[in-house]
Structure 1
Amino acid sequence: MTASHATSEAVISGGNGVPSRGGDGAAGIPGRSSAVTRDRPTTAEDAEPRSQRLQARDLCLSYGEQVVIDGLDIDVIDNTITGVIGPNGCGKSTLLRALGRLMQPKRGGVLLDGKQIHKMPTKEVARTLGLLPQSPAAPEGLCVADLVARGRHPHQSWYRQWSSRDESAVAEALAMTGIGELAERAIDELSGGQRQRAWLSMALAQSTDLLLLDEPTTYLDLSHQVDVLDLIGRLHDDSGRTVVMVLHDLNLAARYVDRLVAMKDGVIVAEGRPHEVLTEELLADVFELRARVIEDPVMGTPMVVPVGGRRTSAAVTDGAVTPRPGT
């Protein structure tokens, strides 16, 4: 196996070897939310059966002797967008790597459509599940089109070589992320945001119905963050793709996901609909952040407003907002 092939195998999911959201807001502005919290009474809305595409049970993950996650359970529900949130170092990326079969658990296991993922053939996993890791690396000099073409590797075999279908999948992925004009550019010549969209294109070219995305908006300016999240939303809405993504921007997460999973110190402390998870109490506990949670005036989703800051125009004490003297 060549070095470049090895890189492709590592990023195309399963590798032991990777989306204008219609919705509940104003016209042309995407976003939505729905799901179920831990320890919350079942409601009629929850009673509708939903299959679980990806499950982890009693998951224990470590780097050497350092245990990062111990005894974690999680269910990824079919046809939902799940956002994983939490402070740096809480285990979000580690969890995603394990769900994508890039990390072998010390204990417990991961099920993909009811099968033990580590016992499945790599290509079978990669035709079902795509993973975009946090900091992927490409061989020096590789151009964008060639990188994206690697997403088609799981669909190749000795009797099924490169075809017009593969060519179309690559072209469509480049068009969806808006980087078709960069197809012949070398990856190492791109800006951070362009590079991130190239890797996302590769994950899309893989044509899986389950996507794991670790901080897909990293390095992107705000307009491109919205573009990428709109794209993820369209993939979900148009084709029913199931998506799990790690996000740092809590307000964007609340707009775009159906379910939120909040982690702290390797433990899932809350999961459910954004308005159920993003509470002032959780922000204080998980993020050590004093904040108010208000209704987004455009979408109606939760919006986190941190308390304090040099330019604050009001003093906030004991939960009450009072005008500054002289205002």
Structure 2
Amino acid sequence: MSGQLLRYLGIRLLLIIPTTWILVTVVFFLMRVVGDPITAALGGRLPPDQIAARKHAAGLDRPILSQYWDYISGLARGDFGRSQDNRAITDVIATYGAATLELVVWALIVAFAVGIPLGRYAATRRDTAPDVGLRLFAILAYAAPVFFVGLLLKLVFAVKLGWLPVAGRASTSVELDLQNVSPKTNILVVDALLYGDMGYLEDVLKHAVLPAIALGLLTAGVFLRLVRINLIQTLRSDFVDAARARGLSARVVTRRHAFRNALIPVVTVMGMYIASMLGGAVLTERTFEWKGLGYQLTEYLQARDFIAVQGIVAFIALVVAVMSFFVDVIVALIDPRVRF
């Protein structure tokens, strides 16, 4: 690995720190604008003296800069705070984060499986009826609210046709049995494999289909348009003309020479759209009662548990920053021009 590449990656790695710091700082002060979380969560349900005692125990009656320092110091130690029921947010992340990770992975598979081949197909048939239809599909897939798409999928494939389950990560009996798997990962596909029952694996996969499609189509439309536009531009390049001049067929030129270069912008924006997927996961999990981190976040919002909300959002910000770094690594390996 060249020194220039190492220097580029080192700078990108260091940028994780200020990026995450800015995000968690904004979240902290926005939460304080709403008011102190103890009063927001328990006001009207406890007498004022008990609320004051809880605020004092949590350090919320101290100056805001002191609270901010404690918050940042805790994050540096891996402490994301505690919820109103005195549960560590790290435990919440460990329990529910695996479900969100599983959903995002399935959605990415859908996005790549749909967006990239269709984008390539549209580029090779530019301005024909299939191309116009696919461009319209891409716009609709990106513009349609993920919860609306989810509700339509449930209505058609679960309620009307009865092919797939309506909601949940697995059937109740399956989830109960998978609680006893050791070692337990909270990723139900993995747990079902560890359990060794193919019927359980089939049940888990069926429950994942509709949420993955609803969330995956959000990004598939973007990938389709990016691949189409960049592949069309790449097919006009000099090196592609040179490949054609050597007598290579259009299929070989597209597959071996143009397609790889057209994928570079897709990889570049992947980190950004993983962030949008995490946002979409909140609505998707709520729509399909997929009990992941997004579902739990909405539960804390409804309970006005702003400390828990703050901790989960801070964790998501850290994940987005780290994912952006890994995308930079992949892009630097694919395209050396980004190092300059």
Task: Give the TM-score category using the shorter length.
Answer: under 0.3
**Higher RCO (C-alpha under 8 Å, 6+ residues apart):** 2
Larger radius of gyration: 2
Bigger fraction of residues in strand: 1
